Amino acid sequence: MSKLIKILLWVVGGVAVLMALVATYNTLAPLPVHEVRLPENVTIPYGDSLALAEGARIVSMSCTLCHRNQDGNLAGRPLPEKDFGDVYIANLTNHPEAGLGKYTDEELVHIIRTGIRPNGSQLVPIMPQFFRMSDEDLYRVIAYLRSDAPMVQPVEKYWPDNKLNFIGKALTRWVFKPAPMPTGPVAPPPSDDLVAQGEYLANAVYSCYQCHSASFETNNDHEPSLSQGYYGGGNPVGGLAGALTISANLTMHPEHGLGAWTVEDFGKAIREARRPDGRMLSPTMPPFTSLTDDEVAAIWAFLQTVPIQDNDARAALAQQ
Ligand code: HEC
Ligand code: HEC
């Protein structure tokens, strides 16, 4: 055997041993425990009917997509996709132990912003991190979750512990990092800046970029605009509400995106799931039924500023 081949064999063998060690580590080692720094000055607007109505609107267009079950409440359900292993979408009802009653307001803010529970454990990264949601909006959401609305009446449903598979563990351990807890107040976007408001709604509250960029795996959740194929669509989105469907290109490309649409077309599509050509959108695209006209206009103004992507997502959809 020549010396070169011997060296090569050693290198290949060394890499194989290293990979086996990393794989064993990922399978056996507990997931990391993170630092918890609870926020101060959390003031939930309990009993404020306007705040409750706003909270209800945000919850109904965001959290329900995952947390609502067949009974129409937010007691959670098993996640239909098994890509990460067996994952259970949590019970957000007001039950004192099985639901959110077990957390203080400060702890809830921490979980929803960072994806880290008070004991330092990280949520499975399917749950979005709402670290840029304004304090005002987040406190309204919590006021609603703690209210006596039918959707959050206490349900005594305990879900089993998640059983993450190899991929679920590796992604939680190494890829999807928890968001840092904001150190000061989180202000809403300026009220005279339509584009900033649209960006806030699309990226920080309703996570449109998550489904509408190239792939969940290449999304950058801490800096959405750095996601691969940002708003160019083509992401195969599965299971939560409908069948696996390829997401649409929302950039202003004249043929492959929304370049030829009007703001009215856009409003009908996102609120009523109806495209300009009359086709109904798949339920995989959650309808954002109660967005106001101003909010639709803001998201539309923001999409005008997103760099155009020439991705023919509809062709991929037609071939599906
Ligand atoms: C894309 C799906 C998805 C959306 C949207 C979503 N969640 Fe979750 N959420 C999850 C999953 C999955 C878990 C369970 C994670 C785990 O067990 O590690 C979870 C867990 C939680 C928990 C932890 C509960 C506990 O007992 O530990 C809270 C609180 C929560 N979600 C609140 C919210 C709120 C508030 C919203 C809307 C603003 C929301 N979620 C939107 C999927 C989602
Ligand atoms: C859970 C994933 C998901 C989220 C979140 C989501 N979408 Fe979609 N959206 C889709 C999918 C999948 C389609 C394609 C549906 C079809 O073609 O039937 C789609 C289609 C659309 C369309 C139709 C475009 C066309 O050319 O037909 C528009 C407009 C749209 N989404 C806007 C939005 C906006 C704005 C948001 C956030 C407020 C959003 N979507 C959030 C999955 C999502």
Chain segment 164-213, per-residue pLDDT in tens: 999 999 988 988 889 999 999 999 999 999 999 999 999 999 999 999 99
Same domain (yes/no): 157, 265 = no
Residue 26 lies in a domain: no
pTM (2 d.p.): 0.94
CB 191: neighbour CB atoms within 10 A?
8
Q: Is the CB of 237 under 6 A from ligand 2?
A: yes
H-helix segments, the chain:
3-28, 49-61, 64-67, 105-114, 135-145, 166-170, 194-199, 208-212, 263-272, 293-304, 313-318
What digits encode the pLDDT tens for the residues 235-277? 999 867 667 899 999 999 999 999 999 999 999 999 999 999 9
Q: Is the CB of 299 under 6 A from ligand 2?
A: yes
User: Whose CA is closest to atom 32 on ligand 1?
Assistant: 112
Same domain (yes/no): 142, 206 = no
Same domain (yes/no): 210, 307 = yes
Same domain (yes/no): 161, 210 = no
Handedness of CA 154, 201, 219, 21 (dihedral sign): negative
Residue 9 lies in a domain: no
d(CA 103, CA 87): 21
Same domain (yes/no): 257, 295 = yes
Residue 69 lies in a domain: yes
Same domain (yes/no): 150, 256 = no
Same domain (yes/no): 200, 152 = no
Q: Which of 132, 297, 282, 310 is nearest to 207 (CA)?
A: 132
Looking up residue 161, the CATH number of its domain turns out to be 1.10.760
Q: How many domains does the chain have?
A: 2
Range of the domain at 89: 49-165
Same domain (yes/no): 70, 146 = yes
Same domain (yes/no): 161, 198 = no
Q: How remote is the CA of residue 28 from the centroid of ligand 1, in Å?
A: 26
Residue 289 lies in a domain: yes
Q: How remote is the CA of residue 310 from the centroid of ligand 2, in Å?
A: 17
